[in-house]
A and B are shown apart, each in its own frame.
Chain A
Amino acid sequence: MTLLETRGLTKTFDGIKANTNVDFKLETGQIMALIGPNGAGKSTFVGMLCGRIPATSGQVFFNGKDISALPAHKRIALGMAYTFQITSVFGNLSVRENVALAVRRAGHLPEKQVQAKVDAVLERINLAERSEQIAGDLSYGHQRVLEIAMGLAQDPQLFILDEPTQGLAEAEISEFVALIKSLAGKTTILLIEHNMDVVMRSAEQITVLDAGGIIASGTPDEIRENAAVKSAYLGTNNAEG
């Protein structure tokens, strides 16, 4: 079953095309990585999926429903979660309250259950000891993990992560990969990632963007062997090497 689909999605910034006619499909339960060189239009693309960036033209379908006209908060409420490329948490609030805000919006639970769920999420992501700390005082790595926790707390159908491992230490990256794998089957994941090791270890499908358009998609093995991908990354037209 297709969870998310785009048709002809295009974004132009003052005449510069960030995305051109992107047709994209994401199957339910899949872990999909979105890769591509800097400036390929990856963040713009996912921004248009969750409504953060308005599309110039084209359509987005979620669960078969055309959501192109919906504002961001309504798309999120349909079951999307989004983590920012540049860490974005509520810096002056406690770790607990950060996650609680995510839980409260997503479900209409009484406060006791909200807190129980916050505890469960923090436990799962190894932040339980820091629940009373002010989020802004956490290390960069922990802030990134907190942001992932806020996504998990929403029980999303589709979890969009924009470069989640950027700036994480090796051990944290391994924990992240394990976490993503533990979500497999239940949560559909769209992952923008530069770390190829993470991509190869966690993704089932890979889509490659270059210059605002999809140049390849397939399994990790297929992408590894794809000539166009090599050319985009290595900047050669001769794809033998």
Chain B
Amino acid sequence: MSDLRKSYLFHAGVVVLLIVLYFTLPAYHAGNLARILVLAVYAMGYNILFGYTGLLSLGHALFFAAGMYGFGMAVSHLGLPTGFALVISLGFTALVAAVVGFLALRTKEVAFMIVTLMFAQAGYLTILYFGATTRGDEGFVLTQVQRTLFGLDLTQETTKFWAALVLFAASFLGTAALVKSRLGRALVAIRENEERARMLGYDTWQLKFTAVILSCCLSGVGGAAYALLFGYVGATFATVQYSILPLVWVLLGGAGTTIGPLIGVVFMFYLIEWSSNVTDAYMLIAGVVLVLLTLFAPEGLGGELRKRGFKWLP
């Protein structure tokens, strides 16, 4: 079987497995699935930039929040139809990404991390500053009408899951197609050795800019979907914690693997849940586990899989 075929089967298999899990898991866990899948979309966006292009952003909460507020404010403040508001949200995220990308890509490495972190903080403070409109930390809740898309009521558990699954599957298969494409391979070349890529004639600045736009837009879609499915928009999602989370998810799950973001989100979700049942000091347990994983599986769980017999994992 060719590697490409294995990869197709693998990606289709993951989607099928998620459907099977939804029907077989106890209701509580099945309910968690929608949230996990939406957060995985956010992480997949992050992975395009960090895992495949090698650019470490510490400010992705800005784009998650841009998608979330772009959608939330378009439906609640401007009273736009849900579908149209999603388009507005995507456009808004792309605009923010273009501005931040244009400026941040003048820097490299640590400076890039700091600049993206600062932009995200500026975004967070902007939301607080216009608290009268954005409702700041308190946030605002979306109504059932605002959460109905194409006649589907997304306040219902079942529709919520299917919507999250469709979005996840599209992003998952889309990322797989991207990394196999000419563009995706050029991004990997930049991650591996930017100077060599440039001296092969690749326009590395333009490629990195494209990666920023794709990554941020996908993360923004995650933010918009979060608001749509769970009905809440708040400044918490723009805090630095939400910039660190996708980094941790992707690192744990396996940076530069398509499955990594999902594994990372599931792992962290249940690690925190399990450890908070054991002790109040759950972050201590989570921290120790994270340290152990970084020590013994530095390429993340997906990276370990790739090393141990699944070489074809994209």
Q: Which residues of A contact B (CB under 8 A)?
A: 50, 52, 72-74, 76-77, 82, 84, 88-93, 97, 100-102, 104-106, 150, 154
Contact = CB atoms under 8 A, between A and B. Distances in A.
Given A73-B204, A104-B182, A82 B199 contact: yes
Given A73-B198, A76-B199, 5 more contacts: A72-B198, A73-B202, A90-B189, A102-B200, A105-B202
B6 interface: no
Interface string B177-203: 000001001101100110111111111
Contacts of B192: 90-93
Contacts of B196: 84, 88-90
B170 to A, nearest CB: 24
A104 to B, nearest CB: 6
Contact of A150 (B182, B185, B200): B200
Contacts of B201: 73, 76-77, 105-106, 154
Contacts of B199: 50, 52, 72, 76, 82, 84, 88
A232 B200 CA distance: 34
29 contacts: A52-B199, A72-B198, A72-B199, A73-B201, A73-B203, A76-B200, A82-B199, A88-B195, A88-B196, A88-B199, A89-B193, A89-B196, A90-B192, A90-B196, A91-B192, A91-B193, A92-B192, A97-B185, A101-B185, A101-B186, A101-B189, A101-B197, A101-B200, A102-B200, A104-B186, A105-B186, A106-B201, A154-B200, A154-B201
Interface residues of B, number: 17
A103 to B, nearest CB: 10
A114 to B, nearest CB: 9
Nearest to B196: A88
A148 B198 CA distance: 16
Interface string B253-280: 0000000000000000000000000000
Nearest to A102: B200
